[in-house]
Chains A and B, each alone.
Chain A
């Protein structure tokens, strides 16, 4: 039998590396928030001629827009984020760009006032809070018959937070490099992913509970390992079919839901890793009370890698 649980410290190291990279990126780049949360206007412009991003940035500055964020979409359009534009300013901006770069088409335009942005940000926070409470209540209920409900619940929550944190980190990097913004669909994606990842963890924990009852081994680590192997087919196949459809969305639709789809891809992969390699491993480590052992093992890991 493959020994998955035996590699748990390595999984923790991988996980720590991801967390460190995410933290580093969040500290250096921060997150770029979309107009839904901070107000402003967003133009999607399709230039007939080829326009390079630095040229566009320069021309926008020339027109008096120094404080813009430009993102290039997969389809080659530009998303230009500006302070809130009224009809006249927008017309002037488009005419200015057309004068420099030739014919252009404005395929999308969104404008959000500070009032709406404030409400959106507030309601998004409320939604995240309610979703977290809902999922915690669900977990408490789902693990009520587990031998140590608090342990199972805590490990699941750590894995979920870890999942969301990695998605945030990836978006912080994408924001820093490609100017991707965190908008309402990003929040939607994170919540969807968390809702989905909970399932995977619950299915695995459920199997651990069943195997404990069957008494397949006195060693908790062995029980967890066989439970993981028994559910591995399901865990992987489920993620594969879901990823197939998400990739289809990413390659064939992209455009305005591009950022959303990328959150789903990142979250699904991270969520699968978390449900197999983090949540159950935390359980084993907790059961064996080997936190200290992990810490003293870390330098060894560093040497082995080096």
Chain B
């Protein structure tokens, strides 16, 4: 029974851009965006990784480059192994990778979610629009520059906003849970509890 490590060795022999990726559990590789579909297709067709279980966007912090990555987890329903495939988005301002929806129809929703949350576009996606937030929502909430409290926006239904003069109000953070971000501040420094006091209800929010 060929294993995930054999598959990765074969992939590395075929595409020079495929590199090992540090991982604490499953075998993992970094793939250049140009080779992504070929590598995923080969994993699926030649190595039995027939199920795409997860597609996840990652924001590696403001100011790093590459800032965005897309991480795929493929699973073999016969060999019962995972392989993690990560692809970096070359352009930090307009992150884009090719869409895997042609290989797995299940990738459709996962990629819509990554687009919704991170603003990563997937070239060749059949129907790339928001999935969890509403159409017309102006932000990508899982980006690291989006505040936890949220940003006030108009409600999706313009008529309701006009009638009630109420938008989607940012969450009040005073007295909220501990708020700190990994790597930025430790918990002690992050007190008082609001991560950024300029976002509380007492002070006006800066323009979005």
- The judgment on whether A and B are partners is no
Listed in ascending order, the chain A residues whose CB lies under 8 Å from chain B are none
Listed in ascending order, the chain B residues whose CB lies under 8 Å from chain A are none
